[in-house]
Structure 1
Amino acid sequence: MTARDAAVAAFTHLTDDAPGGVWSAPGRANLIGEHTDYNDGFVLPVAIGQRTYAALGRRTDRIVRVASTFADDAVDVRLDEVPALFDSPADRQRVPEWARYPLGVAWAALRVAGADPRELCGLDIVFASDVPVGAGLSSSAAIEGAAASALNDAWGLGLSPLDLARIGRAAENEAVGAPTGIMDQVASIMGRADAAIFLDCRTLETASVDLGFAAAGLELLVIDTRVQHSHANGGYRERRASCEAGAAGMGVGALRDLSVDDLPRAERVLDDVTLRRVRHIVTENQRVLDTVRALRERGPRAIGELLVASHASMRDDFEISVPELDAAVESALAAGAIGARMTGGGFGGAAIALVPADLARQVTDAVGLAFEDRGFIAPLVFPLVPSAGARREA
């Protein structure tokens, strides 16, 4: 059964009726540009083929009920209660964690749209997904994107794609409590087939960058290490705090305002740990710009070394890799990948490897053998197909 069929079946089981519509949004993989988003920098994500589906139907009362195939119980709130649902950290603790994502989207959507909940209908929304959870592929943004798209249509809010991305970020930051940037939501909402999204996280300007992997005889593999991670954990917060301290120490509003030429001064004024965090962000921003230029001028075979340098920076300077991610990258490169790096927030999750299509099986087998030799859980390896963003399915 597909995730879409599972969402429809679960909706019918919950309500004894067919849904009025089905919406979906993809997960994302970041081609390059890690932890630069909350530093007002540059990122280059792609929407992936795996998606979260939201089956929705109208209710005759004033209840919003959310349910999913990955949670035992449905959660419902009165529409009148939604505007104050996440006004404080204590309030959000009363909502089960998984439900904070879709209900946080409803809360943020009403705020952004300025909508009066007394004029809106109640809804049932049921979610199912084939986006791997905890793999650094933004399963959270996928549920936010599907929920935001469904609510925007069902309630007639008239919000733009960028509005929907902002709503998803607000849900992630304020309803869930994960201090992420807006990259994941932009990719999930605004992705395009066979393209990456070049996002300036300060201005929120976007540009589509053609990838052309298949035309160049390449495949992008995802290597899910199956090491679970959480963006709400301390490691992510510590990195963000270090970046803020580094910006303050360098006298700038955000690390986006620094260039590689500023790093010698950073070495003089920052402590070692803060310097290394800053160095990653500054050099990663430059790598994003270099990758966009290489894709546009020379094609995808020109970006391999940039991917490898990005992983080394995350491993050594930002210290967010883990042995499983390093093994995935090293074994993929040894087996013929032209570039590889961890993707996502780190501390687990997935790596990506850009490989000649005729070597994809060889790379997959090599990675599996490397994990077996090290006593790691067997990874899940699958091709990443750059795909379209959020949409109505039915």
Structure 2
Amino acid sequence: MYLKAYIPKYKPRGLGSKTVDFRESELAQEALQQQQMQQPLSFVDALNSMAQIILAKEDALKILQGITDILGKTLAVDHCLIYAIDFEKHRSIGLCEWLNPQCHDFSHTNTVHNLELFTNGCQYPQMSQGWLESHIDRINPCLKEDDLAVLLHKKRHIKSLLWYPFYFSQEGYYLLVFHQISERRTWQEEEISFINAATNQVSIAFQKIQLLTERQQAEEALNKTNQELENRVAERTVELRNIIERLQSQNAMSKASHKETQQVEEALQISEQRFRAVFEKTAIGMGLVDVTGKLIASNPALHKIIGYSPEELRSMTLADYTHPDDIAYDLALYQELLAGKRDYYQMEKRFLKKKGELFWGRLTVSAIRCTQGKIQFTFGTVEDINERKQAEEALRQSEARFRGFVENANDIIYSLTAEGILSYVSPNWTDILGHDVSE
């Protein structure tokens, strides 16, 4: 979990050979020289194995664990670790470790520690850029200052330790840690040289891990982008499918509505044709008037009755072709119609023809309203009743003459019903017969 945060981003730098702090007696050195002929070959094989692991593995933890195992086994130590020292966050992080299977009583220490436990011990490699070596019988002074010697040599029973730093930066560095638990150990120059060469391999491993991490991040970002794109495509597909279904439904409804509209239009057209035929061919005068009283449409019958052309009628008002004695009553009824007090009115009135002639007509005016109930137009019809009026006047005059003749006659004049009952007797009935008319 700590590898990603501590991948180095600068050129790795190892440490050259350096004189070991403490040397054993010449007798111990001679005992170890017997292995020197075989160690260089073993070290080379170990470095090659590290290189193969770095090339073959694609997992960061497996790469570091493989290198740690090789280091521990090649150097025949009891405990080997790789640590990241972070001064910025004031902690040390164990990245991986190898523990000799024969060390049954030694527990793992691959954890996170606060640097307060060994501040001086960690600052010394940073300042000196050299390794730190300590033994149970000759404790390094840096460890004594932190009381770290008590923890490592007394409680952890570490007889010899070697801390080899590398990959230095302002924030910290990385550390190869070697612990010898079973016996005290003096580190040889060949071993130090091998460790230094191993740090170069570990540095290369960190560079590959950095590339793997960046590739993984790029793949995750690409997968996320692809997933988002797929989600957007899926969402858009659903939207388009819904739109298509809605359009298909609307199209079906539109076809049905279009058919209904077409039927309505055909019915309206037939109705309009019928009305137009009646409007144009009827003998009754018809006119469409707006709410101001201006005639906006009229039929041929009205033109013939009044004697004015359509253009002349459109420029005239009601008073221009109405007898003065009938104007007030006509306007009063028209105002009641506009006020909503009535839906129509009918009256017999005298019209003035173009040449000044008078004629009688029966006027019927109806209101035409919009869907909100407001009057938009009025529709009027004019029926020529001039002949009927003339006949009524002639009859009235004839009746007056007959009544004068009967009332002034010397003879008795009477009329009987079909049942023989008197229905009328002249006024001289009483004078001649002496009976009252009521008798």
TM-score when normalising by structure 1: 0.20
Which structure's relative contact order is higher, taking Cα pairs within 8 Å and 6+ residues apart?
1
